A and B are shown apart, each in its own frame.
Chain A
Amino acid sequence: MAQVSMTVNGKAVSGEVEGRTLLVEFLRTGLGLTGTHVGCDTSQCGACVVHIDGESVKACTVFAAAADGAEITTIEGMANADGTLSVLQQAFQDHHGLQCGFCTPGMVMSAADLLKTNPSPTEHEIRDWLEGNICRCTGYHNIVKAIQAAAATMSGQAQAAE
């Protein structure tokens, strides 16, 4: 067992982990942050996507020990400070970008990373980016719409701020 410390959604946390403890297990079992899901064991479905130091990764394919000292953001840390939905989360609701909700945390975390690096992606770029996020409910149609809408809202906000 080893001690790990990291910042999760802005809070310093620490805990004892085995070498084999995955980051997703530490988040779900160790910290009770069950919004990050596990949908496969071959690193493909993306239900477990979180951000490590601002980059989206699959928390099922990272050891907790490897994230020692890192800044982690999970779906639980994505809402606005006042608890209201962020622009991206709101766009998913507005455009019905989720049904059963299981893949949703990973979708949101993945999309957030996309919009950070590419603030106005084309439909093709969005679909391409979602390669590592499998959804079985929506046919992706409304997820793509939601991300496009979020991009438009965010760029409008950015312009207004200028």
Chain B
Amino acid sequence: MPKDHGIGASSKRREDIRFLTGKGQYTDDINRPGQLYCHFLRSDVAHGRIAKLDTAAAAAMPGVVAIHTAQDLAAVGGVPCGWQVTDKNGEAMKEPKHPILAEGKVRHVGDPVAAILAESLEQAQDAAEAIELEIEELPAVVDMKAALSGESLVHDDVPGNLCFDWEFVQENKDAVAEAIAGAAHVTRLELVNNRLVANPMEPRAAIGEYDAARDEHTLWTTSQNPHVIRLLMGAFVLSIPEHKLRVVAPDVGGGFGSKIYHYAEEAYVTWAAKAVGRPVKWTASRSEAFLSDAQGRDHVTTIELALDAEHNFVALRCHTLANMGAYLSTFAPCIPTWLHGTLLAGNYRTPLIFTNVQAIFTNTVPVDAYRGAGRPEATFQLERVIDKAARELGLDPAELRRKNFIPPDAFPYQTPVAVQYDTGNYGATLDKALEMADAAGFAARKAESAARGKLRGFGLASYIEACGIAPSSLVGALGARAGLYEAATVRVNPTGSISVFTGSHSHGQGHETTFAQVVADMLGCDEGQVDIVHGDTNRVPFGMGTYGSRSLAVGGSAIVKSVEKIVAKAKKIAAHLLEAAEGDIQFADGQFTVAGTDNALGWGDVCLAAYVPHKYPIEELEPGLEETSFYDPANFTYPAGAYVCEVEVDPETGRVEVQNFVAADDFGNVVNPMIVEGQVHGGLAQGLGQALLENAVYDAEGQLASASYMDYAMPRAADFPSFAVDHSCVTPCTHNPLGVKGCGEAGAIGSPPALVNAVIDALSEHGVSHIDMPLTPTRVWEAIQAAKA
């Protein structure tokens, strides 16, 4: 029987009530008395020197209160980067300044040049057109290979546009080369991991307000991690101490990574609110979001897989060009390095791995983490090259994977790329996926498709990811400029209701429900007795927010730790009230009992006693029942699984139709199966969107050719069938108290290679061995034509 409450139950989401009745409160829903509207004048060219910037005429226009340029922000710092990568020679990455408003040069289409504050948005937009801006255009740096020539420099002080040249595992470089040279078979593949735009449905917005009488700043912003924004913006940009700066991330309409980062616009509105003495509101249009939200992926990779005569993987070598865009976004440098190189072992016991990543500045929008972040790029190249190897060697792709899987009895397993997997069973999820996908019936389905002139393909991919980010000491050693623990305060109120204050931030993940399930389960109370508070630095303890599939594994663990402390203290109080030894007190189902007796106290009695300490061990114990914990994980968590995709290709048009998609995941223990499945569905749609539809394309001048939904193909309901998902293969995480692994990114990590492998399977009879994503009709048709020619 499925549980109907607590851990393991598909509790309905409490947050849905407000969202379904139009009562959610997103940043743009907030209006402050006397607020001004902010509009940014953005560069319409990718690269150039600002020759003239005259705002006088614009400033005199109706409704305009102020116009600011870089000159006005001279005392303000640049947007900081939160991660420093050290290159192959031991030198720090190049970290050019990222000004709030462009200084001297513009470096991408959308780079903000001036900010206009007016009584209405239209007035601000009108004034923007009256600003005299002349830009002397410079050659745009767009193509990464060409960028390395250094003929045109995005940043004058970064030669070759090279942010860093990183090698990992450096000690293995020669051994890998030797193994490849001597291997029985080497499969080589060049591929592109296409650039994506995160596109949460809520565009970014920010409202700054300043209370002069109290010298207090407030920023409402669309953020996945308000404390991180407060820290970065307060300490590095605006020099506002924490106690004078409140950051609120209210209901946030999706993030997928793009709302992790500290953005120039939120620093500007915070600064401007004080400068002009009125609240300042900015809301991005979708068109603006395409030019200012950090984008994702954009790797060009060459991968080589070496196998011995028995088809064991013996070595793997990769070279990647990773696009940073024009400036370093908050976590950009760690994506192609530590979140990518460390995953190249995948689910396999490849003993020798070496990768070289060159991070390149270009005149494009900055690139940073997007759902999966580095791990989809690692998984895609690995699962594609394995499939290609199987095809070249005439092997069953499932068998080749099985042969090389890390076996279930080998855990904990130390990979050659730094991370140690704690647990897993990759064969189990592969078996499950193949069974769910009716692999045995594929031949008949293929024949049926062929009878209709269609090509049917069957593709699979295994994946593993390191998430539940992250052990602070480890990431600190790798260049992180922050710790990656999470904090939680559990406050038991006098009548026994419970308020939980978490540093995690929910923007679709359902924390308000899931976290309450955990607490209710531990305390034996109704979920309705537990309230989850998040998203306001004035209310929640310093925490790192939500990304990297970390909320339950890290944030949930912090809550568990605090509840454990609460129970321990409550037992002491109960022992005093029951006049028993503390060691004899047992707590279960909300009742404190004395072992071996009928003596019992309810949860409410103990809570009340904590706050009305008339009969209380006051010498030994403080009144009150409130505990805070900071949980720093011992390791990442390693969810893994196997995905199967079945497609039908129309060879006449090149159109790919997904016929079936199966996901078998091992997420360890699951708190709310309904929510976990929803997370997988969403990840799959984003992964399949990457593989089939989505592409951020820059032309040679650095203009984004897919700068709206007219050209950037967002997945729609009719693009996919319903998905078959399963999470019954469970190897619990060994190092966090709930035994849980992350589930938010898995779908986006495992699905692109499964789809591409399926399409290549369908087209193999035409001799097509690779197509770069997205597999649009035109690309598929062209690949067929090229193979025919």
Do A and B share a direct contact in the complex (Cβ within 8 angstroms)?
yes
The complex places the Cα of A105 from the Cα of B15 at a distance, in Å, of: 14
Task: Tell me which residues across on chain B come within 8 A of A34, comparing CB atoms.
Answer: 22, 25-26, 28-29
Give the secondary structure class of A's interface.
loop
User: Is the CB–CB distance between A139 and B681 below 8 Å?
Assistant: yes
Query: Which residues of A lie under 8 Å from residue B684 when comparing CB positions?
Result: 139
In the complex, A28 Cα to B18 Cα: how many Å? Answer: 16
The reply to whether A42 and B20 form a contact with Cβ atoms under 8 Å apart is: no
Assembly CA distance A39 to B222 (angstroms): 14
Do the beta carbons of A96 and B718 come within 8 Å of each other?
Answer: no
Shortest C-beta distance, B108 to chain A (Å), equals 20
Query: In the bound complex, what is the Cα–Cα distance between A31 and B675 (angstroms)?
Result: 34
Task: Flag B1-44 by CB within 8 Å of A: 1 or 0 each.
Answer: 00000000000110111111111111011010000000000000
Name the distance in Å between B661's Cβ and chain A's nearest Cβ: 10
B682 pairs with A128, CB closer than 8 A: no
Interface pair B717/A100, CB less than 8 Å apart: no
Determine, out of A51-59, A62-70, A75-83, A153-161, the stretch whose residues face the partner at the interface: A75-83
- When each residue 181-206 of chain B gets 1 if its CB lies under 8 Å from chain A and 0 otherwise, what string results? 00000000000000000011111000
Q: Which residues of A contact B718 (CB under 8 A)?
A: 124, 127-128, 130-131
Considering only CB atoms, which chain B residue lies closest to A106 in the complex?
A: B201
Cβ contact within 8 Å between B709 and A100? no
- A13 touches B (CB below 8 Å): no
1/0 contact trace for B375-417 toward A, CB 8 Å? Answer: 0000000000000000000000000000000000000000000
A130, closest chain B residue (CB): B717
Of residues A142, A143, A145, which shows the largest number of chain B Cβ atoms within 10 Å of its Cβ?
A142
Closest residue to B289 on the A side, CB-wise? A40
Contact A141 B200, beta carbon cutoff 8 Å: no
In the complex, B614 has a CB within 8 A of chain A = no
In the assembled complex, B340 has its CB within 8 A of some CB on chain A: no
Q: Which residues of A contact B709 (CB under 8 A)?
A: 40, 42, 44-45, 134
- Asked whether A35 is an interface residue with its Cβ less than 8 Å from the other chain, the reply is yes
Quick check: A37 and B21 within 8 Å, CB to CB? no
Residue contact B720 to A134, C-beta cutoff 8 Å:
no
A124 to B717, CA, bound (A): 9
B789 contacts across to A, CB distance below 8 A: none
Q: Known contacts A41-B286, A127-B717, A130-B718: does B681 contact A138 (CB below 8 Å)? A: yes
Residues of A within 8 A of B472 (CB): none
What chain B residues lie within 8 Å of A137 (beta carbons)?
Answer: 201, 254, 508, 678, 682
Fill in one digit per residue for B719-751: 1 if any A CB lies within 8 Å of its CB, else 0.
010110000000000000000000000010000
Partner of B286, one of A39, A85, A89, A108: A39
In the assembled complex, the CB of A95 is this many whole angstroms from the nearest CB of chain B, namely 8
A146 CB to nearest B CB, Å:
10
Taking the complex as formed, is B588 at the interface, i.e. its CB lies under 8 A from any CB of chain A? Answer: no
| Number of chain A residues whose Cβ lies closer than 8 Å to a Cβ of chain B | 56
A93 to B10, CA, bound (A): 11
Return A76 CB to nearest CB of chain B, in Å.
4
Contact code string B341-363 (vs A, CB < 8 Å = 1, else 0): 00000000000000000000000
Cross-chain contact A41 with B287 (CB below 8 angstroms): yes
CB of A99 within 8 A of CB of B678, answer: yes
* Bound-state Cα–Cα, A37 to B283, Å: 12
* Cβ contact of A41, chosen from B201, B256, B285, B509, cutoff 8 A: B285
Q: In the complex, are the beta carbons of B24 and A101 less than 8 A apart?
A: yes
Question: Counting CB contacts under 8 A, is B708 at the interface?
Answer: yes
Is the beta-carbon distance between A101 and B16 smaller than 8 angstroms? Answer: yes
Q: Which residues of A contact B683 (CB under 8 A)?
A: 139
A47-B681 in contact (CB<8A): no
- Bound-complex Cα distance A99 to B16 (A): 8
Residue pair B722, A37 in contact (C-beta under 8 Å):
no
Given contacts A39-B201, A130-B718, A136-B686, contact A102 B254 (CB under 8 A): yes
Residues 106-162 of A contacting B (Cβ, < 8 Å): 108, 123-124, 126-128, 130-131, 133-145
Q: Return chain A residues, CB-CB under 8 Å to B686.
A: 136, 139
Q: How far is A136 from B258 in the complex, measured between Cα atoms in Å?
A: 13
Residues of B within 8 A of A76 (CB): 21-23
What are the 6 closest A-B residue pairs judged by CB atoms, nearest first? A35-B22, A101-B19, A102-B253, A139-B685, A100-B508, A99-B508
> Besides the contacts A96-B675, A128-B717, A143-B717, what 17 more A-B pairs have beta carbons closer than 8 Å?
A37-B201, A40-B709, A41-B285, A47-B201, A75-B22, A76-B22, A76-B23, A85-B20, A101-B18, A101-B253, A128-B718, A133-B717, A134-B715, A136-B686, A136-B714, A137-B678, A145-B722
Chain B positions within 8 Å of A, measured between CB atoms, are 12-13, 15-26, 28-29, 31, 122, 199-203, 251-254, 256, 285-287, 507-510, 674-675, 677-678, 681-686, 708-710, 714-718, 720, 722-723, 747
Of the A-B pairs whose beta carbons lie under 8 Å apart in the complex, a sample of 30, sorted by A's number, is A28-B29, A35-B22, A39-B202, A41-B708, A42-B287, A42-B710, A44-B714, A45-B714, A47-B201, A75-B22, A76-B23, A92-B16, A96-B678, A98-B16, A99-B682, A100-B508, A101-B16, A101-B20, A101-B24, A102-B202, A102-B253, A103-B253, A127-B717, A134-B715, A136-B682, A137-B254, A139-B685, A139-B715, A140-B717, A145-B722
